[in-house]
Amino acid sequence: MAFETYKPSLDDPNAWVPYRYYPSIPAAAIFIALYSIVTIAHIVIIVTRRTWSFTPFIIGGLFELVGYIGRAISAGDIWALGPYIVQSILLLVAPALFAASIYIILGQIMVFVNGGEFSLVPRRWLTKVFVAGDVISFLLQMADFLNLGEKIIIAGLFAQIVFFGFFIVVAITFEVRFTRHQAALSLKLAKWKKHMYTLYVGSLLIMVRSIFRVVEYLMGNNGFLLRHEYLLYIFDATLMFLVMVLFLWVHPGQLRTSPSPEEATYTLDIDANNALKQKGSSHHRSHRV
């Protein structure tokens, strides 16, 4: 479908147009290449290490890739709605899939250190709660493409920020509680710390991108952000690419590998301490009776 009879000026502030500029083919081509490389690398790792729980992350990478292919096609005809809608939808929702994988990673860290009891949200509900928030956000964002209005999509983006913000609070609270409880943490800081820091950096990148998107939609079709394509590549394309590189560098599949002797001893100490606490609590209750 295309605008066959009416094509308003791209500078007309009162008209809705798919783009306020002619999309850059070189910029789209660069990110098509970058996302192709990093997504293929993630696919290789997920297959070789059998980390199937990280599948949403791969799908997010594919969404980014196809989204920028859509932008490259739009450069040939900015009035064609098909490529425009494809790139709008896929680039909008891909970070939600990255976020879903980050939720899963926190749960894996809790399992790795046997510290689920220190989470604000019970570990068995952790992924379910936040993925449900992602689904709500996703459905609200899709409403815009069903002609239900931009206010709905803004609500979806706000929902994404709220749920993701709460997740960051949960992650930080877990780390603080667990670190405070385990005096032996200085042993080697174990590998879980590295994954927590990676989770924080990835979360920050996604949060910045989400805020950028909210401001973009609040400013409207003729807003400053939608009139300058380079901002999309700085605050969306680049940030999401860095998220993919980050989790390629520190892959959550490492949490499934056998722990080192020091880490194994550390985990045994945790189990022993917990067992002693439970035994002491039980003895105290029986003594009171």
The predicted-structure confidence for 238-285, as pLDDT tens digits, reads as follows: 999 999 999 999 999 887 654 444 444 444 444 445 554 455 544 444
Q: Give the fold, CATH level 3, of 25-266.
A: Rhopdopsin 7-helix transmembrane proteins (1.20.1070)
Asked if residue 22 has pLDDT above 90, the reply is: yes
Contact status, residue 34 vs residue 244, Cβ threshold 8 Å: no
* Residues 38-42, mean pLDDT to the nearest whole number: 97
Q: pLDDT of 169-185, one tens digit each?
A: 999 999 888 887 765 44
Confidence of residue 288 (pLDDT cuts 50, 70, 90): very low
> pLDDT-based confidence at 217, cuts 50/70/90?
confident
Identify the pLDDT of residue 10. Answer: 85
Contact 112, 96 (CB under 8 A): no
| Chain centroid offset of residue 120 CA | 20
Per-residue model confidence (pLDDT) at position 206? 95
pLDDT tens-digit readout, 84-123: 999 998 998 899 999 999 999 999 888 888 888 888 888 8
Burial environment of residue 241 by CB neighbours within 10 A (0 to 12, 13 to 18, 19 or more):
buried
| Cα dist from 56 to 100, 115, 146, whole Å | 7, 25, 24
**Gyration radius from the chain CA atoms:** 23
Name the residue type at position 151: K
Inter-axis angle of helices 150-181 and 123-143, nearest 10: 160
pTM: 0.82
User: How far apart are alpha carbons 149 and 3 in whole angstroms?
Assistant: 20
Q: 100 and 133 in contact (C-beta within 8 Å)?
A: no
Check pLDDT > 60 for residue 289: no
Quick one: what percent of the chain has pLDDT higher than 70? 79
**What does the domain layout of the chain look like in residue ranges?**
25-266
Dihedral sign (CA 173, 174, 175, 177): positive
pLDDT at 264: 46
Residue 146 has pLDDT above 80, yes or no: no
pLDDT, mean over the chain: 83
Whether 82 has a pLDDT exceeding 80, the answer reads: yes
3-state secondary structure of 90: helix
- Percentages helix, strand, coil for the chain, rounded to the nearest 5? 80, 0, 20
Give, in degrees to the nearest 5, the angle at Cα 156 between 150 and 157: 90
Of 210 and 14, the structure prediction assigns the larger pLDDT to 210
pLDDT for 186 equals 47
